[in-house]
Structure 1
Amino acid sequence: MAAIAEQLDGCPPGATPFIVQTGGHFHLRLGATDSGHPPGRLVCGGGDPFLGHLVGHLDRAEAVDLAVAFALESGVALVRPYLQDLLDRRGRLRLVVGDYLDVTEPAALRMLMDLDGDVHRHVFETRGGSFHVKSWIFRARGCGDAVVGSSNLTRVALTDGVEWNLSTGPDPARWGAVGEAFEALLHHPNVRPLDSAWIDAYAARRSVQDPPAYTKAVRDESPPDPPPEPHAIQRRALQTLEGARDGGARAGLVVLATGLGKTWLAAFDSVPFGRVLFVAHRDEILTQAMATFRRIRPEARFGRYDGGEKVADADIVFASVQTLGRMAHLERFAPDTFDYIVVDEFHHAAAATYRRVIGHFAPRFLLGLTATPERTDGGDLLHLCDHNLVFRCDLFEGIEEGLLAPFRYWGVPDPVDYAQIPWRSTRFDEVELTSALATEARARNALEQFRRRGAGPALGFCCTVAHADFMADFFRQAGLRAAAVHSGPASAPRTSSLEALGRGELEIVFAVDMFNEGVDVPAIGTVLMLRPTESPIVWLQQLGRGLRRAEGKDALHVVDYIGNHRSFLTKVRALLAAPEGDRALAARLEAAIAGDAGLPDGCAVTYDLEAVDILRSLLRVRDLDDDMEAFFADFRLRHGRRPTALETWMSDFDPKAPNHGGWLGFLVHMGEPVDRRLAEALRGLAADIARRADADALHWLAAALRAGLATGGADPQRIATEASEDAGTIWAMHLAERDGRLALARVPDGMQADAQTLIDELIEWRLATIIDEIAMPQREVAEAPAPYLPAEGPVLWRSYERREIPRLFGATFNEGAWNAGIVRLANRLILLTTLRKGALATGNHYEDAFLDAQTVQWQSQTRTRQDSRHGAMISGREPGAEVHLFVRSGKLRQGRAAPFIYCGPVRFLDWEGEQPITVRFRLPEPVPEHLRRSFAVPD
């Protein structure tokens, strides 16, 4: 190890070292899995592929110049992640690609166009001549290296092909000569900038020509990987989206758990549409989305519209909402510019910038995507999607269907005293938090937890760059192979570190917001939550990084620190899918502690006793008013503002707040800056708004009050005149007179603007409740809007909420009847079966199970006899009788009532016993593979 210490002393500034053991030998790696070419090294390919050496250079470079005769999609796909890593760390890339013999694929050029950052793209037009250059030049910290050889950008040339590539080494005279040649090449008369227009013309020219034999051979030896097919849940979502559009929908929200492929779903769904706009709030999401869409739509012209680029005329535009949301940019686009708009991370859509974008455009369809919308935004989100929740699939359903790995979760006590760390607006003070978390005592605790409960390669989520670097150093000193990946200068390379983690060359990678989404390392076996998390979305994204299935991986292990601050309740609420409010959260927590959390098979949640004590001490459960106050305070803590009346109602609390004289009195009680005189002046009006049940009247009232406040307020005739354009009703004067007397005359001077804001808030809430009351009898559950239920009845293997099932048979939901396990509708028997009953009362524990993929055993209620009416229908003795079977694996899914899967009209085989009867049915077709694990179907 002394030699290793000498190497560490010689590390270049900014490099991140880690140690890799091979056999009995230890090797130092500087932020990469290979150190590149030694000086003068010749790499001949075959058993020594060029790609591994190339990656080592790219991971250390600050600037790269590349010139190749041709590029294929298969080759660009291999190097693209490393080139993007270079650009993400503010490196520079200059490239020249030739059109020699038309070998270069347009799809490869489009993939190079998708790179984001300081990238300069050029093409060498051979014009019947020759262009055989293959060279790479790397610069870092004043030094350089160059590789000249025979490898073009193709998969074969970079991997198993016999190719000679020679490194010049760091000698400035050698690599400098190659660099000078590249500068001269950039000024060659045949070199021109590469852009989408040139690629389109090249693709058209190439498509009508018969390629030479050499060109065809090169293309055939490196075909691109085929795009993936949608998995089962994505197929169901795509079918539902298509059905919604067929029914006239022009917008819809899809809620898809982290790890189930929201962006892939959008790419698949976008195929029938022409121009597409993809909107997100972070550059990383846009970059990942471009890579995903490129796999599905390789020929489309892509463009970014963000702080760096402003490409407005591409087929598919990937836009930053911060940039596009400014009116100066929106005005560049006509409302009908795009046929299809995707708004990712739709839980942010209530923000003003998102609203401006959504309100400006009129696409044929708008798709909102989110993993788990926070309940407090629910009303606003659905409003922006025409109140149309098209499809929802939560984390537990993904696990039950075998698309995500089960998890074993441990909530452990955090030794840090968070009461001593200042809280700034919506989060802890970053400097103070880092000082508290980056200590040897806490790192030692994390190491003990990892050794005790970890399994396989791990990701550790840290609060800051300094925290991640500290943790990586501590784990390395303890003998583990660790690296830190973040946006700082000392970061290990992102792509290479993940690949090393997947190969087992690293045991753990510590990250800061780099891997919240878009990471694809199925082998990850452990996630360490080492930081507070104010957002349930971020927490679920971090959990989702380890939920990819992999061979030999039975479950993801999660170690999550629980500290003495109410922000840690966010983690529990996200894990257990608890509604807002301490009362509901306490109930879910106690159920989890008792082992009744309604988890899928293979999942477990365990809280250390001290962590349980911490959580119980944080909960404020006394009476309903206290619960609403706790919700209000928590919302203010997390979001840096108070909840609106609508957001409070969406979280199952009553804004009428009778014990506080209404919503305005409650705001005063909670210490909000609402003048008591104004609250008292508007008290009667607020009560009147809360009582109204006519949406048209509320709309008119809003216009009348707005006009009255704007004009100084008490003249009913003037209010009616100002508001009549909005009202358009005969009874305008009557309402104006009554409401003018009711409130406007009493608004204190100088408070008209505040009054209007509060009135608008109350009307927004009451309108939402009226819409909900009107819509609920029609749709009955928000998660499956009635217009998009199949008209022909239930669809085999599709999931339905209990409230949806009656409509499939032309019936109306009645809670008393449909909460039973068997319902008779004329000549039909509907069986609602839960395989894992949980804590049901003794005497009603029915033995239901699948005997094989097409045979199910069902047990009747204890009073049912074979000679009864139900018995006759079950056995088929009653002419025309039908038996329809709906099955679910357990009562709960992520804390809510689980839906049922329709298993079809079943055929009677035989039965035995009396009171109860044990019946065997034959299904119309075998249970699909993706449901067999959830239904415990024997092999």
Structure 2
Amino acid sequence: MEVNRNNLLNAYERGFLDQDTHKIGHHPPRMIINSKEENVLSSMLDEMEGCLSFSISVAFITEGGLATLKTALYELAKRNRGGRIITSTYLNFNRPKVFKALLNIPNLEIRVADKEGFHAKGYVFQNDHYSSMFIGSSNLTDAALKKNYEYNLKLTSLENGAIIQHFNSQFEKLWEESTAVDAEWIRKYEQTHVEQPEQRKVLEVIEDRSRYQHKALTGQAIQPNLMQKEALMALADLRKARKDKGLVVSATGTGKTYLAAFDVQQYRPGRMLFLAHREQILEKSMNDFSSLLDESPSEFGIYSGSTKREDAKYLFATVQTLSKTANLEQFNPDDFDYIIVDEAHRSSATTYTKILSHFTPGFLLGMTATPERTDDMEIFSLFDYNIAYEIRLQQALEEEILAPFHYFGVTDYEKDGIVIDDTTALGQLTSNERVAHLMEKIEYYGHSGEALKGLMFVSNRREAAELSQALNMRGYRTRALTGDDSQQVRQQTVRELENGRLDYIITVDIFNEGVDIPSINQVVMLRQTQSSIIFIQQLGRGLRKHDEKEYLTVIDFIGNYRNNYMIPIALTGDRSYNKDRLRKSLIDRNAISGVSTINFESIAKEKIYSSISTTTLNNQSFLKEMHLYLKNKIGRLPALIDFHDDTDVIDPLVILHKYSHYLEFLVKIKERDLAISENDHQVLTFLSKEVADGKRIHETLLLQQVIESPVNMKEFQLDMHRRGYHMTDDTMHSVLSTLTHAFHTQQDLKKYGGPLIEVADDFIHPSSTFSSALENPVIREHIIQVVELSLALSKTYDQSKPLTINRKYSRKDVCRLLNWDRDESSTLYGYKYKHGTCPIFITYHKDEEIEDTIRYEDQFLDLNTLKWFTRSNRTLESKEIKAILQAHKQGVPIHIFVKKDDDEGSTFYYLGEGHIDYRTLEEARMNDGTGKPVVTMNMMMERAIDYDLYKYLESGTHV
């Protein structure tokens, strides 16, 4: 990337002299404070990924802090780039294992400063002619870089700047005085390293406020965590409302069993029944209840297999045993005041319903991490649709209820251009080369804590057995564990892993749920993601907190799998199935809460992009399934706003993009049975296609008011001003033009029918078309649904401006929002100067088959500079070019819109205004063999584009 001297001067004028200056400045000095919107880590990774080299001087380093940089360091190593780190042994904070991990990174040089009280914190990333530096309070720990309240100043300097020269000279001097870290140095450090527990504990509180200690081990009374406290209040409120059933949806590891015990404690039943599907779950649950409830051990009993304590006050039973008729008939329907169903997503099975229909408890509690079913059965009606409390993975991480994790999406083994996919033969899955590749990755990305305790998920039983054998031959201690193994063998194997006699358990899917091994510090996924539910279940095996780990390492080997698109769905919990949101989650470094991070190697990321682009996510059967899930969850036919409000279901716009309107979808899936008149169909189609997305709130608010009574146009404009919305006379004209259909093409008018409004004497009235539709109660209801959805979606846009940076727009959207009097999107090839505006649309990766006349080489030279090409056969004397150049000098804005490739569909990211650098204007010749003239120039972006978006655009289109 380049740094322009004048723009840098302007940026520093804004940063240090006058924040109100209107000069365009790039690379401004910035104070970075960790928040949900940004953090030090994100900014630092932006610089690291593009640098030529780096120099870091930092006192304290943790394994978690280093883990956050490992993928960026791996990508740098592929380009033969690296850096140097000076750290310390100050207060013995840095553990020997950290130095071993540093030494395992090939493109790092490590030295230890011998200065007493060394406490520096400086990060410098060198590029051609300039450097970026971070100076502040953050050590190299995941908490300091992503979560803790820290002050860090980011500065950019040209190579001859005094500050950077001073830093470099001091760093070089310190480097020469410091001791190189190698294997022998680490061996000696291990011998002399002595933990200073109290001092380290204070430092860890400072560096990582999420440090966890088991209360059971510290002798403190077990207290409910934040989630449990809120859930207990919700359950109490449910019972106050005279409800006798409730469902708690809570992420794996958040303490559902203890929550149930706490609720039993506050309910104080005469007798309690706890139902589970496995005996080992019963034993652990009974122990948890016994440790919390102030009752004699004799009051607790198990009902399973050969052990049947029918008289226990607190009875823990397997469903398989209790559901047998002879066993069930030994109990009266009113024997239990309180019944708990563990893993309640199973409760629609016949064995469960048989038990639940037999008993009449005072209260029935269901607990599950995954209420979503994949077998067309639902559980919500069993609990009378009473969802007492819900906490998903993101919230649990944010509240520090779970152990944080660092996820690494790595590229699976590739040979001769062939990558592991859905059809790969077993021999390739366990070949020497793939096993070596696997070992390289798991050793590079490592694990938290001293002893490796890992869980590998593979595709099938034979692979588990052969991979276990192959790893054992290479010095690992592993055991394959599958559904063929008895409960005794499973329990013994788990104990061996916990006791340090095994490094890995290799399994297929028997550990998806119901197994609690808190000490697991590494989860390895060696198979395609079958579903986001299973992915989270398997990830959850390692998310329980444990004293011997600070975080969980997740290593996901990504091949050419069809289902790769499910990975971002699983990691972020975004089940909207909106392709743009899925892509954004891959480029959003803040997509996960707390100190957890999501990291993808570049090729692995491209495989996911490819899967998102090529997968159909809106087929009717899938949309019907999502609709049925939401219907079952809320106990009624969902409205459009219900899809928007529930993060577990598909984005309603996905439905509206496939169908003319929601009512048409309901008829198609046989949820409604009615004939829709042509007029009503056209009205709903217009609203669903032109208003529902909320990109401009004005049309929605006007329709909302017109439905009730005529609207005074001037008063409406004033109301928009009072609310802070962008409103000019041209905007008002555009709104009216949209709703009267004057804006739309003849082709659209065939779909949309007559206008929705009429204007007379400055009053806006509903048209006869719209009035007729409103007279039908069903159609009126669906009109209001679209209005509600539009109002909700409009909040995601900056309504004080016509366009919102980093949101996506079609050419048609832009014509409307820039107040053009007609939809000219069909002739808007690349750019057009009209109505005092000039939008430019760029497809960053052109299709190879596209016409030579419009296949240019537009490119961002850096985050601030776009090298732009006009259409071919244009010169500096061409009429359209002269008009654009002259108009821009007179203040006409140029709006830049970009999409990566045509696989993204018809919408473009809005990147803000560009300003022509007239010094770069030149005529050139097309490099396509035609030699046709073209004009090129640099556009200086008014606002630097987001680095993650820049990387996305720059990355290869095809894998």
TM bucket (normalised to shorter chain) is 0.3 to 0.5
**Could you tell me the TM-score, scaled by structure 1's length?**
0.41
